[in-house]
Structure 1
Amino acid sequence: MPGRATSPTRRRSTLRRSVALLRAFRHEQPDPPRFYTALARDSVEQLSGYADLDGALLLDVGGGPGYFRDAFTAAGARYVALDADVGELSGLGEMPPGTVLGSGMALPFRDASLDVCYSSNVLEHVSDPWLMAEEMLRVTRPGGTVFLSYTVWFGPWGGHETAPWHYLGGRRARARYRRKHGREPKNRYGESLFKVTVAEALEWSRRQDLADVVEVLPRYNPAWSWWLLRVPVVRELATWNLALVLRRR
């Protein structure tokens, strides 16, 4: 059945993979193709361990330019991208078919209409992140998969291009960037960047009643670091990106 992996072969993160991805993050703004191509390829490999992508109707919430489209389509998925910014969707040229403008907090799709609902590094950019998570569950059919990952605020890249000054506060980091560069950062704290923690995700995953939690993992960390999520303060500082994998009931 599309959207569900009956015999998952989950890719467990190695230290080599973690280092390669963290290096790629340094090129997000100066060399977007390098960064997004690497991330898209890794995303398909990781998601394939939880869902059968061949023939699956997949929604990428915050899909942005076509890097993820190319990777998921190559894996056999019927890909639909949603973004609130037409500039992001047309980043590689004109918007291709199957692109939708809309808000992640009010997805313009019917209940239980998708096999897979995926989102990577978007949750920290919406003002009500757990409303977006609930919307992703709503539009996913029973037995379908939701894969939701985001940048953890207290992690090393929590402030995005204002890091590591975000540790002194998001507004201070934003003001420092503006003074240094003479312009606002792309990710503006309080407008297009918000503080989302590991603790909030764990609490929401326990509170929601629409899906079974398949796995919660520090996405870019080596597999052996799963224990980090059990240590309250350490998990916030050492988790670069958190992923929630859920199976809709």
Structure 2
Amino acid sequence: MSHPALRALARFIPQIMRLEESRDAAIRERDLAQQQAHAEQQQALSAQQQAESAQRMLDEVLQRQHVDGNARVEQTLAMVRAEYTVLPRFGFHQPIDYEPDSLPPHFDPPVVVPGEALPLPAPAERFGYPADDAAYLHMGALDAAVVRAAIDRHLGPRQDLALLDFGCSSGRVLRHFDAERSAQGWRLHGVDIQARPIEWLRLHFPQDYLVTTGTVQPHLPFEDNSLDVIYGFSVFTHIKYLWDMWLLELRRVLKPGGLLVQTIHTENAWAFYHGQREEAWVRRAHSARMLDRPEMDADWFHHGDIAVSQAFWKAEIARRNWGRYLEVLELLPPQHDLSFQDVMICRKPLPLGW
């Protein structure tokens, strides 16, 4: 190529270079735009995936909340029912019927024992007392003998005695006064805050047994000065609240000179439970504070609500406090091998000039 031609071509080199630079810039811009578009596409896809993932997580949370919420509702209702079935703070009996339609409870057939005038409740209706028939009868007879001995010492032989089993359950002790009912005209009464055993008694004991469901509030459905004897086994051991008002209510319905026979927890019961402190049934019902101490270190100690309340008194304190409301005749240690509770025997004072 001649020099003139080279010179002419050289004149186009800057233009060619600028075109190449423009081309390269355009390619770079195109590639950058493609990269940005791809990044935006990926971002959009990622955002969509994140949104879908978040929705799934939200759905799972809502589902879990629904399931867990239902479980929490049921758990709460169970706790409420448990609290309001025992009702330590309110004046109702237990259990409360939560159903819109109330029907008679189902009971297993009563147990008929040869030689016994009255049927026994089935083991399920004995409320923690022995399932063995002979043991159930024996324990009830021992406790009835404690009451009978107190009557013999402080009242003497009586006809037409009005006697109340305070906390009668399904008649474990009350049944053992049936001979006096038949031979001496004793009028037998029973009251319990548990509706179920009272219904069992209504079905299976004679009509002249006056049994009724009571309340946890200090009120009895009896007239003033109408009862000769009121006894109770392991009732004041459960009364954490209003024990003094209960004593006044019991005094109200007792006749002047009438007897009150009630078991209580004193140092004797404390020592018994401490000795059994590793037993599951003891640990369920008692305070760790109490079980850790071999001896009572306070004048009195009450634990729990009415279903599991364990009320303990030092014997001298119980005698002093009960003596404010009734005349304390005796405070006896446990009266037989199946008991660890002391027996408080009191009398309603006679009016002046009686």
Tell me, yes or no, whether TM beats 0.5.
yes
Alignment match, 1:244: 344
Gaps of 5+ in 2: 1-126, 152-156, 293-302, 350-354
Q: Distance in 1 between matches of 2:291 and 2:306?
A: 11
1:39 alignment partner, SS class = helix
Cα distance between partner residues in 1 of 2:271 and 2:215: 26
Q: Which residue of 1 aligns with 2:270?
A: 154
The aligned amino acid for 1:80 is H
**How far does residue 78 in structure 1 lie from its aligned partner after superposition?**
1.5
Structure showing greater relative contact order (alpha-carbon pairs closer than 8 Å, 6 or more residues apart):
1
Contact 1:157 1:240 in 2 (8 A): no
Find the counterpart in structure 1 of residue 142 from structure 2.
Answer: 42
Structure showing greater Rg: 2
Residue aligning to 1:143: 257
- Residue 131 of structure 2 corresponds to 31
Who is 1:201 aligned against?
A: 318
Q: In structure 2, do the counterparts of structure 1 residues 32 and 63 end up closer, same or farther at CA, with 3 Å as the change threshold?
A: farther
Identical pairs, percent = 20
Task: Determine which of 176, 184, 205 is the counterpart of 1:71.
Answer: 176
TM-score (norm 2): 0.46
1:205 alignment partner AA: W
Contact 1:170 1:189 in 2 (8 A): no
Q: CA offset at residue 56 of structure 1?
A: 0.7
| Alignment coverage as a number of residue pairs | 190
Report what 1:168 is aligned to.
Answer: 288
Structure 1 counterpart SS, 2:258: strand
Structure (1/2) with the larger helix percentage? 2
- Secondary structure of 1:125 counterpart: coil
- 1:100 maps to which residue? 212
Distance 1:42 1:102 in 2: 25
Measured after TM superposition, the shift of residue 171 of structure 1 is: 11
Q: Deviations over 1:12-51 (max 9, x none)?
A: xxxxxxxxxxxxxxx9456164454223211222222222
8 A Cα contact 1:157 1:164, kept in partner: no
Say which structure is richer in strand: 1
Unaligned runs of 5+ in 1: 1-26, 173-187, 223-238
* 1:67 Cα deviation from its structure 2 partner: 2.7
Mapping of residues 124-143 of structure 1, within 5 Å: 124-128=237-241, 129-143=243-257
1:133-153 CA-to-partner distances (Å, cap 9, x unmatched) read 222222100121111113456
